[in-house]
Amino acid sequence: MGQALGCIQVDQSTIAIEEGFGKFDEVLQPGCHCVPWCFGKNIVGYLSLRIQQLDVRCETKTKDNVFVTVVASIQYRALPEKAEDAYYKLSNTREQIQAYVFDVIRASVPKLILDDVFEQKNDIAKSVEEELSKAMSTYGYEIVQTLIVDIEPDERVKRAMNEINSAARLRVAANEKAEAEKILQIKRAEGDAESKYLSGLGIARQRQAIVDGLRESVLAFSGNVPGTTAKEVMDMVLVTQYFDTMKEIGASSKSSSVFIPHGPGAVKDVVSQIRDGLLQANEAGN
């Protein structure tokens, strides 16, 4: 009924293109308008002022001959003040934008190696946006934003990149493990050296204490038993120690068999060897 009376309604964020006798007349803003069709007036189309998005997938190759698919997301809208150009100059806006995106991406990406494509995707997006803005403003469109949302190399290339990354991480892990083992071995060697050093100090102090004890015993015995010499007392002490040792070896249930020469002459030789050893230890301690 409204159209029969020449009244139309233009929705919000939309403009209507009015022609008179086939020629552009004016742009109708949102609201109610009278379009007397009997005077040759006619609405030939509508133009949305909302921001629209176009996703473009472009396959190209990099400088190092790797084929990649670059996905660009273009956000654009028609300019109300250039509605006539936006409606009449382009027959297919989306295909026109896609052609410019292909042109810029295929001119930019082949100059870069694959790693640089990932690192410089913002620069690529900026180049696309600048080229589109210059071209599409002539046709009454504004480029709001351009984003490179995805870069997809060939599947075999992605597997190779993952293997390279994995190998590098394994190499770092092996180096760290080797370094840790090296530190452990160094610390173990330092601990062993310190243990042997302290053990040597203990043995030296033990021998010194034995020598000091024997010396005191010899002096005390010589003082209490007149007519005895230090050598005689020393021989007796050593023989006593010898028999005590034999007794302990025989009494131990876990001791192994020990074969040693035994007899008066052998005991005398043992006494001489022990005495010489103690005297040498005493000289070394002093």
Kind and range of the H or E run holding 13: none
Report the alpha-carbon distance of residue 280 to residue 271 in Å, rounded. Answer: 14
Kind and range of the H or E run holding 98: helix 93-108
Q: Which residue has the higher pLDDT, 155 or 28?
A: 28
Rg (CA), the chain: 52
Report the alpha-carbon distance of residue 133 to residue 117 in Å, rounded. Answer: 22
**Is residue 1 predicted with pLDDT exceeding 50?**
no
Q: What is the per-residue pLDDT for 254?
A: 63
* Contact partners, residue 34, CB within 8 Å, separation at least 6: 6, 7
**CA 119 to centroid of chain Cα atoms:** 18
How deeply is 86 buried, as exposed, middle or buried, from its count of CB atoms within 10 A (0-12, 13-18, 19+)? buried
Q: What is the per-residue pLDDT for 279?
A: 59
CATH of range 52-153; options 3.40.50.720, 3.40.50.880, 3.30.479.30, 3.40.50.300: 3.30.479.30
Q: What is the per-residue pLDDT for 226?
A: 67
Question: Is beta strand 67-78 parallel, antiparallel or unpaired with respect to 31-34?
Answer: unpaired
How deeply is 39 buried, as exposed, middle or buried, from its count of CB atoms within 10 A (0-12, 13-18, 19+)? exposed
Summarised one tens digit per residue, pLDDT across range 78-93 is: 998 999 898 888 888 8
Report the alpha-carbon distance of residue 74 to residue 127 in Å, rounded. Answer: 12
Query: What are the sequence ranges of the domains in the chain?
Result: 7-48, 52-153
Order of strands across the sheet that contains 141-153: 52-61, 67-78, 141-153
Residue 144 banded pLDDT, cuts 50, 70, 90: very high
Summarised one tens digit per residue, pLDDT across range 152-211 is: 887 777 777 777 777 877 888 888 888 888 888 898 888 888 888 888 888 888 777 777
Q: What is the per-residue pLDDT for 173?
A: 83
Question: Minimum mean pLDDT among 10-14, 100-104, 202-206, 254-258: which range?
Answer: 254-258
CA dihedral of residues 184, 187, 188, 194 (deg, nearest 10): 180
**Is residue 216 predicted with pLDDT exceeding 70?**
yes
Q: What is the mean pLDDT of residues 5-10?
A: 79
DSSP 17: E
How deeply is 47 buried, as exposed, middle or buried, from its count of CB atoms within 10 A (0-12, 13-18, 19+)? middle
Q: What is the per-residue pLDDT for 253?
A: 62
